[in-house]
Amino acid sequence: MQRRQEREDFMSITAPALMPKLMLPYVFIPSQLCSALKSIYCPKGDSISRSNLHNNYKKCIKSLSNVRTIIQRDYLSILKICLYLIQFEEDLELGRFRLLNHTVETSDLENCFIISLKSLNGDLHVIKPDCEVDIRDNTKKAIFAKVVKVVENDVIIKPYDPENAKTLKMKEKRFNIHFVDRHWSLRCCHYALEIVSKCNWIEIVYPQLRTNCIDMEIDIEWINADMKENEPQKQAVRKILNKTAYPAPYIIFGPPGTGKTATLVETICQIVRHFPTKNILVCTSSNAAADEITKRLIKYIPTNLIYRMYAPSREWSTVKNEIQSCANFVQESTLFLSKELLLRKKIIITTLVSSVRLIDVNFRENHFSYIIIDEASQAIEPEMLIPLAITNKESDENTRFHPQIVIAGDPYQLGPVVCCKRIEHLLGRSMLERLMDDCDPYKKQDGTYNPNYITKLVQNFRSHENLLHVSNKQFYCGDLKICGGADIRMALNWSQLPNKNFPMIFQEVLGTETRSLNRSVCNTAEVLAVLMYVSILIKTKFGKHVITPKDIGIVTPFKQQQLDIIHHLEAMKIKGITVGTVETFQGQERNVMILSTVRSKVFEHNDKEHIGFLSNPKRFNVALTRAKALMIIIGNPNILCKNEHWEVLWKYCKKHNANIPFEQLPLNNDVIAKLKGNSKVKSCNGSGPSRATELSVTVELGEENRTKTFDELVRKMENLKLKGENLKSKKD
């Protein structure tokens, strides 16, 4: 324990600061709860008689799967137990990566080293940046380091003491390596729960409908001229200025492409204009969202009034140029302003977890008049409580929470990522979704929402009507109205479209999915189909617009498929195309999107067939709503149509003659020749050999000995197509 505290103290001295770095206590799972968890997760040898408390904990944990809604009485206790479960599972999973007699390699990064592992768990890496690493040689002398980043199977670490670099550079040395998670975000949540539990939190978390809302007419000169014609956006701004929902949160329900961020920016600007003495705290789930709001705000508000607060781990080189003037950096190191300097800032922008550093500033209770939370549908509920703890003091039940809370998001897009399956149904449901489902102020009455509590944005500026049709009907009650410009129609009449007036293709591919070492899934046939369409699209003209790599996005639900596509695009020397999982594409858009579904197997659970990962309606919705002008779906309809949403999409495309059979996949000979001529594939990270599948990566052995990766791919595809044709002829 003392050694851990010493490391914590050492880690706190990471940058010059005017305000001491917040030191949160390490959270230990209560001993009886830990004992109960061990008996559930590791039941061998658990025949020993246990205490009543142990047995009660065990019953409680097992009963969580039956809890569908967290009621007010159990709210704080269930959230706390859920946090303990996540911590226990993360530590259990991390134990799998205890390495004995292992080598450490030198990295290209200064004073950094690489620990190579055989496998990590897909997107949900259990080894994360800021994990600690305990490294010992045969002398038992400990070297402490932190994880800087994880690239595929390589963990890049940096020792706290630069002197230890000499030992790690010794090639003959072997080490016993142990990873330790600091659980920083969980500790932030526990800290917030402890503070909020002593305050009047019920009216925020379980709000009641009020009938005495004050809604004054405010003369507003709109900063964003486009909002003058958008009634839902204007309604949201007016209601927030008037605090019609107070003390309950006000919800901005923003479906894809409806201008949610623009509405938040306009709201903040109008608060500054109409109430110049009021202060605003803006929190988001991700740094990308916080940066986007900052970038838009500095066009209208002086940068000296804005404070973009990053975590200490953020590198100066990654901060966008236009944001640097209001970021918490001095001489390229993070710095935390003192209370006196923070009081001069009208707007503080940070992530939910990083906002915990403001708690010990001890702002007065009414310092922030508004707390605005973007991406609220992507945050677990305990994270949503962190900003609420900043200005909350111990109070009796009659003392109201001062700020107006505004939460923005979309309950029909991907929610929080929760690795613990036992509680995924609880923490995987965001506060925004829970409020809209369970609390009267946010429920529809006679088919409409109460505008004093919630506004649904309905004008979609992103997508062509056909691209939005299925999601609009399946998730948004058909309310979305198409308001995009000419660019959403640019793909019409493209030569490859089966229906020249319908900018969507459902390309049938009868490939086979295979599971890689990292437990993720790939489909070689679909990889080639993606590459074919990319080759056809590049430099194609949509009207006067020439398609470039930056116009194209490739999305797939599986990490291994993403890696394979990236490797092959490198082989084709095509740069600038974003290839990502559905999670990474949430919030993004491209003129052209290619979706590789990968799935070729049907699963069964409780006598019901399903398509696993792809059955998630939120994942389906996000994947389908990224495209502006053209959507190409690649997959096996025989498998996908086992799911109701995919079946609706397939039938919609079929109705509009947009389906292309597998045997008609455009295997252009010129394209194949080009692919064969560029069959060298480089490693993805440049820091060692890639560990992707054999078909996805080759080793350079000189010009004359190039491996024929694409030859193999094309041969496989041609064989599969022939089989598809034979099957079809047999059916006929």
Q: Can you state the angle between helices 559-571 and 709-731, rounded to 10 degrees?
A: 120
Contacts of 263 (CB under 8 A, 6+ apart): 227, 233, 236, 237, 252, 254, 408, 457
d(CA 458, CA 499): 28
Task: Decide if 2 is inside a domain.
Answer: no
Q: 275 with 375, same domain?
A: yes
Task: Decide if 525 is inside a domain.
Answer: yes
Residue 183 tokens read as 């659980």
* Cα atoms in the Cβ-side hemisphere of radius 13 Å centred on 4: 11
Task: Decide if 46 is inside a domain.
Answer: no
Q: 120 with 246, same domain?
A: no
Name the CA dihedral angle for 592, 598, 604, 608, rounded to a multiple of 10 degrees: 20
Q: What is the mean pLDDT of each run of 10 residues along the chain (732 residues)?
A: 40 46 86 92 70 90 91 94 95 88 89 79 66 88 90 87 88 89 93 88 90 78 92 96 94 97 97 95 96 96 96 88 92 86 94 93 89 97 93 60 92 93 94 96 94 97 97 97 95 96 96 81 92 93 95 95 92 92 93 96 87 93 97 96 97 97 75 42 30 27 36 59 53 49
Which run of H or of E encompasses 580? strand 578-581
Q: Cis peptide before 247, with omega less than 30 degrees from 0?
A: yes
d(CA 383, CA 389): 11
Residues linked to residue 482 through DSSP beta bridges, in sequence order:
460
Beta strands 454-456; 659-660: pairing state: unpaired
Burial 687-700, CB ≥16 within 10 A → b, else e: bbebbbbebbbbee
* Residue 241 Cα distances to 236, 238, 264, 406, 480, angstroms: 9, 5, 12, 11, 25
SS3 484: coil
* Position 702, amino acid: G
Q: 675 with 567, same domain?
A: yes
Task: Decide if 496 is inside a domain.
Answer: yes
Task: Decide if 327 is inside a domain.
Answer: yes
d(CA 541, CA 142): 61
SS3 460: strand
Q: 671 with 613, same domain?
A: yes
SS3 116: strand
SS3 591: strand
Q: 446 with 303, same domain?
A: yes
CATH number of the domain that 254 lies in? 3.40.50.300
DSSP 399-438: SPP-SEEEEEE-TTS-------GGGHHHHTS-HHHHHHHH
CATH number of the domain that 160 lies in? 2.40.30
Task: Decide if 227 is inside a domain.
Answer: no
DSSP 238-293: HHHHHTTTTTSPEEEE--TTS-HHHHHHHHHHHHHHH-TT-EEEEEESSHHHHHHH
Range of the domain at 546: 484-679+704-713
Q: 662 with 597, same domain?
A: yes
Q: 453 with 537, same domain?
A: no
Q: 174 with 248, same domain?
A: no
SS3 504: strand
Q: 121 with 194, same domain?
A: no
Name the CA dihedral angle for 196, 201, 206, 208, rounded to a multiple of 10 degrees: -170
- Give the count of domains, the chain: 3
Task: Confirm if 526 and 486 have CB atoms less than 8 A apart.
Answer: no
Task: Decide if 25 is inside a domain.
Answer: no
pTM equals 0.87
Of 457, 472, 497, the position where a domain reaches its end is: 457
Burial 419-443, CB ≥16 within 10 A → b, else e: ebebbbebbbbbbbbbbbeebebbe
DSSP 529-559: HHHHHHHHHTT-EETTEEP-GGGEEEEES-H
Q: Nearest-CA neighbor of 91 among 52, 41, 46?
A: 41
SS3 439: coil
Q: 161 with 191, same domain?
A: no
**Three-state secondary structure readout of 313-354:** CCCHHHCCHHHHHHECEECCEECCCCHHHHCCCCEEEEECCH
Alpha-carbon Rg for the chain, nearest whole angstrom, is 27
Task: Confirm if 347 and 280 have CB atoms less than 8 A apart.
Answer: yes
* Residue 451 Cα distances to 240, 250, 373, 565, angstroms: 10, 9, 19, 45
- The pLDDT of residue 335 is 86
Phi, psi of 148 (to 5 degrees): -90, -50
Q: 156 with 199, same domain?
A: no
Q: 574 with 641, same domain?
A: yes
